[in-house]
Amino acid sequence: MTDNPIPTPDAPTVVPADESPTTESHRRGPAFKPTHPVALAPVGSPPHSVDGFVREFLHELNTTQGVALSRSSVNDQYLALATTVRNYLMARWLETGRKTHEAQAKTIGYLSAEYLLGRQLGNALLATQLNDIAEKGLAACGLDLATLRSQEVEPGLGNGGLGRLAACFIDSLATMNVPCIGYGIRYEYGIFRQTFVDGRQVEQPDTWLSLGSPWEFPHPESAVQVDFAGHTETYDDHGVTRSRWIPEWNVLGVPYNYMVPGYLNGRVNTLRLWSAQATKAFDLQIFNAGDYASAVRAQTFAENISKVLYPEDSTPQGKELRLQQQYFFVACSLRDFINELDPDFDLHKLPERIIYQLNDTHPVIAVPELMRILVDEKKWEWDEAWEVTKQCFAYTCHTLLPEALEVWPVSLLGRLLPRHLEIIYRINDEFLAEVREAFPGDELRARRMSIIAEYPERGVRMAYLATIAGTKVNGVAALHSQLLRDKVLPDFSEMWPDKFTNVTNGITPRRFIRMANPKLSELVTDAIGSGWVTDLERLQELEPYADDEDFREGFRKAKAWNKERLANLLVQRDGISLPPGHLVDVMVKRLHEYKRQSLKIMHVISLYEQVLSGKITASDITPRTVVFGAKAAPGYKMAKDTIYLINAVAKTVNADPRLEGRLTVAFPANYNVTLAEKLIPAADLSEQISLAGMEASGTGNMKFALNGALTIGTDDGANVEIRELVGDENFFLFGMREPEVAALAASGYNPGSLYANNPQLKATIDLIASGVFSSDPHAFDGIVGNLLHQDRFMVFADFDSYMAEQAEVERAYADEDRWTRSAILNVARCGFFSSDRAMRDYLKRIWHTGPLL
């Protein structure tokens, strides 16, 4: 037995204050005035020359990796290269921190559960203009830059559009010279590495840290303690009754800093990711008693918090872990920024120094956390704390699906964060008093707007809390923002119409054109100069070149080069062979029913059925390769069944000689940013086929259009704005508009009737049900039954329109000049979709700050 029981999920402990790091370990700066001239000088950067680069590289290889060039492994060489390039950014990073601190500049605190960064080396080489120098320097050492670049493992810090958007935004803010700290979690194993076993998705740990991560800087001396569970109590504070939280257990959040370089401007912002560690990780007494597993149980329990992105939450334990994650990273982030302020800083002026952008509902628990700090720790009055808090947050909603707006059970939140639940109750009580005053006698409205939901169980509606506390609420595309006001949060938009705004998403042209598509970038730069990389609206200058025969030929050669590059990668990466000369038709995005991957694979199945039944011949099909890329959430059965159907169809049609190789399907596993950078530039056709009114925005649609793919899509999300900009003649529009979708749903949608009365739709579904794609005749009963009897996202209703527009795609593709001209105009007219423009919109409409000059 021991007097200090090991924490378990049932009985964690709190570490006493005297066991925390000493004050001395938190000191900033020297203990006394330095005298050496080098110590007094600014931080230097290695010489920007081949010789300087080689010396720095060999120094890192020898002293950091501890190996000679002659005995170094490829991983040694990559790590030395990464740290060398990192060193060229170091002086800029430290100088950025100094200038920001001295200017007391307002900072954007971007709170996001995901950052889908992609590989860092290429972006760092681009930002430092080192690519040619590195290539020559490494060649002089007998090394190949491309080989070392391929050694890098992509950070497992995100899943899809939300995380990729966050990465684009922090890139743009650095490029625009705006102070920003991105805050998130350093997931040890990411979301998962997707593999296929007999066509079914199997999740494997994403061991992205196993060979080292040279781009991060751990700072254990700056660890933040985060408390959980326990109870609250009231006490008398000189005649004032106050509350305090008596936590039951706690963990440490250790910050890992990543550099976020701006493009050729000298600024390097910071991404700060938090890793969970136990406050008391190892019990020597229990270890010496021979119970080795129990001796480290506290460490295991604490570290679960930052193990994986979006832990499976179909169990109570999974739900609790997700809430632990969310509170963990925002508690660390708020404490971190406040701790970095000068000791005499007046927190009443906190909104002048930072605004926290809540990237979806995941970080919304930050609102009651800031209130707790101000009211409980700083002993402010409630009203003054609430006034400051309301100025420190803004909320971006990324969804229109009710199930995607987080609602935490009161029982769970009260058990894990009891003081925060008390604060939320008071926020709600005071807010509902405002509602009743503004709308007297309308008690149903008050119930609808309450932060606390009563059905099906008592829960805290995090989107409502964010809307009440935020200075602004924004959607991420024009249609989405309108539907957000009209359908998702209509009572709130009626009460506060000026609080709602729109910022259409954007993507960074540095990574997704300049880096990902070098041949197109060269063509564009030769035509209009290099300034487009930071001023993407300049792509409009390409419009006249759409009618230039030489430019069209150069554009086609760039696309062909991209296709060849993709084919080489897929052979090496996945053993997938892409037939030459095919239209490359791409649908890559998170696997979800509303995105309608099922409609895309039904198009393939329908073409296959028509050949089998003799309605058409193989020669009638335009040679086409359909490429899918998607991960399904581990507990999302319908999504995983759809993956199995896609792979089963691919296996069948790719092997059927009756198709004469004119229709193939490819589904490379583990789609990520690294693959996207090769796949998107190679695409001819971009599939953006969600049911109208379901997709918030999309950013893949922007990447494809800016890289010269034409879009087939519904009027949904940012598709609406893409179509308006590029013109109807350069966009393949199909399907119902959102009002038609709403009307059909209201009138009583009957997918079974559509199946019975549409011969080609019936033949397509019957082929799936026949067992031709699987040895198990019932393998796809779930998909077929769902479509026939529910079809929540109206695949059947849009089937005919989609098939007709795909026929139009084939006619357009047959006219090479017409297709190329449309593709060039897509590039030329989509400069609006830069994340730089999106950041300017946020700065003007929401954050009310600007670049640090």
Q: Alpha carbon 565 to chain centroid distance? A: 26
Amino acid letter, 392: C
Residue 287: the pLDDT is 79
Q: Could you tell me which of 643, 746, 731 has the C-alpha nearest to residue 693?
A: 746
Phi, psi of 110 (to 5 degrees): -90, 110
Residue scoring higher pLDDT (692 or 403):
692
**What's the average model confidence in pLDDT over 506-512?**
98
Count of residues making up the chain:
853
Q: What is the DSSP string of 86-103?
A: HHHHHHHHHHHHHHHHHH
Which residue bears the tokens 């919109």?
841
* pLDDT of res. 295: 74
Q: What is the pLDDT of residue 23?
A: 46
**Per-residue pLDDT, 599:** 98
How many angstroms from the chain centroid is the CA of residue 308? 15
Q: At what angle do helices 462-469 and 418-438 cross, to 10 degrees?
A: 60
pLDDT in the model for residue 14: 53
Please give the pLDDT value at position 26.
59
pTM of the model: 0.95
Give just the sign of the alpha carbon dihedral 123, 126, 129, 135.
positive
Q: What angle do CA 716, 809, 621 make, to 5 degrees?
A: 135
Say if CB 208 and CB 187 are below 8 A apart: no
pLDDT score of 99 more than 80: yes
Q: 600-616, pLDDT tens digit by residue?
A: 999 999 999 999 999 99
CA-to-CA distance for 392 and 370, rounded, in angstroms? Answer: 9
Whether 482 shows a pLDDT value over 70: the answer reads yes
Of residues 359, 348, 335, the one with CA closest to residue 108: 359
Q: Is 638 helix (H, G, I), strand (E, B) or coil?
A: helix
pLDDT at 285 over 90: no
Tens of pLDDT, residues 682-710: 999 999 999 999 999 999 999 999 999 99
Evaluate if residue 12 carries a pLDDT over 90. no
Average pLDDT, the chain: 95
For residues 2-9, average pLDDT: 40
Pairing of strands 354-359, 107-111: parallel
Contact 296, 285 (CB under 8 A): no
Read off the pLDDT band of 27 (50, 70, 90): low
Taking the C-alpha atoms of residue 777 and residue 643, their distance in angstroms, rounded to an integer, is 17
Residues 6+ apart with CB under 8 A from 608: 649, 652, 653, 656, 659, 663, 767
Compute the distance between CA of residue 262 and CA of residue 54 in angstroms, rounded to an integer. Answer: 24
* Res. 617 pLDDT band, cuts 50 70 90: very high
Q: What is the pLDDT of residues 412-435, one digit of tens each?
A: 999 999 999 999 999 999 999 999
Query: Are 518 and 134 in contact, with CB atoms under 8 Å apart?
Result: no
Burial class (CB in 10 A: 0-12, 13-18, 19+), 20: middle
What mean pLDDT do residues 576-580 have? 96
* Tokens found for residue 512: 């997704």
Q: State the catalytic residues.
A: 398, 589-590, 595, 699, 703
pLDDT at position 17: 43
Rounded to the nearest angstrom, the gap between the alpha carbon of residue 723 and the centroid of all alpha carbons in its chain is 24
Q: How far is Cα 767 from Cα 756, in angstroms, rounded to an integer?
A: 14
Write down the pLDDT at residue 390. Answer: 98
pLDDT for residue 24 is more than 70: no
Reference 128, options 271, 217, 259; nearest CA is: 259
- Residue 1 banded pLDDT, cuts 50, 70, 90: very low
Mean pLDDT of all residues in 514-520: 98
Q: What is the β-pairing status of strands 224-228 and 249-261? A: antiparallel
What lies within 8 Å, CB to CB, of 312 at 6+ separation is 318, 633, 634, 635
Rounded to the nearest 10 degrees, how much is the dihedral formed by the CA atoms of 38, 43, 49, 52? 50
Cα distance between residue 382 and residue 240, in whole Å: 12
Percent of the chain past pLDDT 90, that is, above it, reads 91
Judge whether residue 262 has pLDDT over 50. yes
Q: Is the pLDDT of residue 402 over 90?
A: no
**What are the tens digits of pLDDT across the range 727-746?**
999 999 999 999 999 999 99
Mean pLDDT of 509-518: 98
